[in-house]
Amino acid sequence: MQSITLYRHEEAGDAVLEYNFYDHQFAPTNLVVRKVLMAMLSSVKERLTHLEVEYNDRMLAEKFGKRASELLRFLGASKENVRENRSGEEVISRTFQAELTAERYDYFYLLKDVSELSHYRLREQSSDRVVFYFNRYLLLRIPLAEEEKLYQQLKELQVPTQVKDI
């Protein structure tokens, strides 16, 4: 298997590593992509406290049907915490934040399709740690002193990796 490329830079004491979907042309259901997400999540698991999800009602309904509202409730969406993102009078998407419970962490860790939700952030309080953004990239922010955890996870999951500093 060819190695995957992670783009890396440092910011405010963190290493920021990005997997770019355009570089590899892997589908979001590809096992390699799923393993990259799993490694990212595992490397910061103890730090994660919250999640944020952005979704489009129509796209979610097409993907999940009646299960869409069930999934949103499971992930912590409620009338009190859902924000509408508008363009003029039209609601383009909705966003909510919730506590990241063990069950919610497992949902993301066990995803068979990393693009099941269009945009999500797993956070340490208000700091992003793992971000998936609309089939464009997966991003990890990890303290420099803990960066080796990611590489160890990728090795354990047998994902050959090359890192390019940018």
* Per-residue pLDDT tens digits for 47-83: 999 999 999 999 999 999 999 999 999 999 999 999 9
Whole-angstrom Cα distance, residue 49 to residue 122? 8
Domain ranges for the chain, please list them: 4-165
Contact between 49 and 99 (Cβ < 8 Å):
yes
Tell me the pLDDT of the chain averaged across its residues: 95
Whole-angstrom Cα distance, residue 117 to residue 114? 7
Alpha helices in 27-127 (DSSP H): 31-44, 57-64, 67-75, 102-109
3-state secondary structure of 105: helix
pLDDT on residue 20:
95
Contact between 10 and 144 (Cβ < 8 Å):
yes
| pTM of the model as a whole | 0.94
* Residues of the chain above pLDDT 70, percent: 99
Whole-angstrom Cα distance, residue 120 to residue 113? 13
